[in-house]
Amino acid sequence: MLKDFVMLYANMQFNKPQNNGFSSQTQIPIPGLDPPEKPKRNKYAFACAILASMTSMLIGYDIGVMSGAGPFIKDDLKISDVQLEILMGILNIYCLLGSAAAGRTSDWVGRRYTIVVASAIFFVGAILMGFATNYAFLMVGRFVAGIGAGYAIMIAPVYTAELSPADCRGFLVSFPEVFGNAGWRFMLGVGVIPSLFLALGVLAMPESPRWLVLQGRLGDAKRVLDKISNSKEEAQLRLADIKEAAGIPEECNDDVVHVSKRSHGEDVWKDLFLHPTPTVKHILLAGVGIHFFQQTSGIDAVVLYSPKIFEKAGITNVNLKLLATVAVGFVKTLFILVATFLLDRIGRRPLLLTSVAGMVVSLATLGVSLSIIDHSEKKLIWAVALAITSVLAYVATFSIGMGPITWVYSSEIFPLRLRAQGTSLGVAANRVMSGIISMTFLSLYKAITIGGAFFLFMGVAMVGWVFFYTLLPETQGKTLEEMQVLFGTFFRWRSTIRELEKNKKGVNSTGDGNDDKGNSNGQIQLGTTKARC
C-alpha cells in the first residue's frame, strides 16, 4: 500500500498533461524546428528518493519539539536557562556519534538496512523521551534519539545520490531538506510514527547499486540500475562507470565477481587523512567546509530561537509571536520546494553563491534593526517591520540555496569507496557546529547583544561566500564517477563539459590501472584494487 501511494505521487509529478491550446491531430512535426523532447524522469527512483528522504523527519521532528516544548519543559522540570540550552542543542552532539558510525555500518550491511537501523534507534529514543519524568531521564532519551537521527541524516543523501540519474540528482537529493523542514511542523509529539513508517517502507526500496558493485554483486546492481535509470542505455553506461570506479574490468559481465575490498576499515581513513592525494584533500575540504559554513551562518539560532528573536524585536503579544514563527516555517518550506526545481536547471554554484549573498544582506539588516530597537527608548514600528522582514528574507535565501545544496553537494563529490565515511565526516562537522550554535546562542547574545550576534553570523557567511567561490566547482550534470576530475586544483570552477571529457581522457591515458592511490595528476582510482570474474 505504501509503495502504491508513493508511485501514484510520482505519476502525478511526472505525467502531468500538457495543454498548449492545439489539438494533437493538428500538430505537424517539422524537422529541425521541433523542441527537444524532455528527458523522462524515472518514477521508481523518484519514489525511492521520497521514502529515503523521510529519514530527515527524525531530526526535523526533534527540532520542532524542542522549539515549541522548550518553555513547557523548563516550567515542568524546573530547570535553568543553561540546562535548557544544553537540552536544546545536545542532540546535535549525539548525532555526531550516529553519523560517524553510519558510514561504517552502511558499508557493512548496505545503505538500505542502515535506514532501518536509524529508524529502530530513534523509535526507542522517542519512547524514552515521551516517558521521561526528570531531566536526567530526558537526556538519556535524547542521547538514544540523537544516535538514530545521526544515522538518518547521514544515510539519506548518500542513498539518494547513489540511486539518482545525473540529470535529476539535485532535485532528488534535495528532498531530505524538504522533509526535514516539513517534519518539524507536523510531527510534534509522535516521533514513533515516522520511525516505524520508515522501517516498513524501506522494504519496498532497492539497495544502492554502487554498494552492490563494491560487494561484487554485478547482476543485482544491473537489475537495480534497469529500474532506476531513464533508459536501458543509461543503465548500461552507469554500470560501466561504476565498474570502472570499483576497479572491475569492463569485459567482466558475471553476475557475481570476487572483489578485493579496500572500502572498509583503516585503509579508507588512511586515504582520507594520512595519505590523501590532492584530489582527496580538495574534496574533503569542500565536503566538510560546506557543512561547517551552513551551520555557523546561524540558521539553527534563527529556527530554534525565533520566538526569542521576535520578542527582542518588540513583539510581545503571544499570538503575533506565534504567527511570525509560523511564517518562518512557511517561508522555509516554500523556498526549499522552489530550490528542488532549480538545482538541476541553474546549477549548484549560482544558487549557492546567490543564496549566501542574500544571507549576508539579511543578517546585516537584521543586526542593524535589532541594534536600533535595543537602544531605542520608544517602539519603532519601521525597525520592528525591518527585523521581521530580515528574518524571513534570511530564511528564504538560506532555503533556496545553502540549505538543500549542502546535502546534495557533499553526498555527490566523494569517490565511491570513500563516500560513506567522507559524507559522515561532513555530517559530523554539521552536527558539531549545530550543537555549539544552539547551545550557546542565548549566552552569546547576552554577551555581545542580539544585534552583535547576527553581525557575527554575517561575518562568517561572508567568509563562507569566498570559500565557496574559490574552492567549490560546479557539479551539475556530472555522474558520481566523473567528480574526481573537477577537484585537485583550486579555482577549477570554470570547468565545462568539454574540459571534463578532456580531463577524463587524460586520466585514462596516464594511469595503468594498477595504481590504487593515484597518478601523476594527483587524482585517484576510485574503487577497490582488483576484481576477477
Read off the pTM: 0.63
CA-based R_g, the chain, Å: 24
d(CA 5, CA 164): 20
Answer yes or no: are the C-beta atoms of 397 and 333 closer than 8 Å. Answer: no
What type of residue sits at position 198? L
**Residue 246: which residues within 8 A CB-CB, separation 6 or more?**
210, 213, 214, 259, 416, 417, 526, 527, 528, 531
CB atoms within 10 A of CB 213: 28
**DSSP-derived 3-state class of residue 275:** coil
Residue 21: which region, alpha, beta or left (left: phi > 0; alpha: psi -120 to 50)? Answer: left
Domains with residue ranges and CATH for the chain:
43-208+267-471 (1.20.1250.20)
d(CA 86, CA 80): 10
Q: Any bridge partners for residue 258, and if so which?
A: 532
Q: Any bridge partners for residue 531, and if so which?
A: 259
The three three-digit cell numbers of residue 292, written as one number? 561547517
Alpha helices (H) in 218-347, listed in sequence order = 218-228, 232-245, 266-269, 278-296, 299-304, 306-312, 318-346
**Residue 252: what pLDDT?**
80
Distances (CA, A) of 79 to 39, 82, 171, 300: 57, 8, 43, 22
d(CA 361, CA 368): 11
CB atoms within 10 A of CB 507: 15
d(CA 86, CA 75): 16
Distances (CA, A) of 33 to 19, 28, 63, 184: 19, 11, 52, 48
Answer yes or no: are the C-beta atoms of 418 and 272 closer than 8 Å. Answer: yes
CB atoms within 10 A of CB 491: 9
d(CA 356, CA 451): 19
CB atoms within 10 A of CB 514: 9
d(CA 67, CA 126): 16
d(CA 77, CA 142): 15
Q: How far is CA 45 from the centre of its chain?
A: 17
Answer yes or no: are the C-beta atoms of 102 and 96 closer than 8 Å. Answer: no
Strands 258-259 vs 531-532: parallel, antiparallel or unpaired: antiparallel
d(CA 136, CA 131): 12
**DSSP-derived 3-state class of residue 29:** coil
Candidates 523, 518, 527, 514; CA nearest to 419 is: 527
pLDDT (tens, 9 = 90+) of the chain, 533 residues, equals: 444 544 544 454 444 444 444 444 444 444 444 444 555 556 777 777 667 666 666 666 666 566 656 667 777 788 887 887 788 778 878 888 888 888 778 878 888 888 888 888 888 888 888 788 888 888 998 899 888 888 887 887 777 777 766 655 555 555 455 444 443 333 334 455 556 666 666 667 788 887 888 888 888 888 888 888 878 888 888 888 888 777 788 778 777 887 665 545 557 777 777 777 888 889 999 999 999 999 999 998 888 888 888 888 888 777 787 788 778 878 888 888 888 888 778 888 999 999 999 999 999 999 999 999 988 888 888 999 999 999 999 999 999 999 889 988 888 888 877 887 888 888 889 988 988 998 889 889 889 999 999 999 999 999 999 999 999 988 877 776 677 778 876 554 444 444 545 544 554 444 444 444 444 334 344 444 455 56
Distances (CA, A) of 113 to 1, 20, 301, 422, 428: 20, 45, 33, 19, 21
Q: How far is CA 238 from the centre of its chain?
A: 23
Q: What is the DSSP letter of 477?
A: T
**DSSP-derived 3-state class of residue 233:** helix
CA dihedral 428, 429, 431, 434 (to 10 degrees): 180
d(CA 457, CA 142): 27
Distances (CA, A) of 339 to 351, 387, 479: 8, 24, 20
Candidates 329, 338, 340, 349; CA nearest to 49 is: 340
Q: Any bridge partners for residue 532, and if so which?
A: 258
Place of cell 538543500: 404
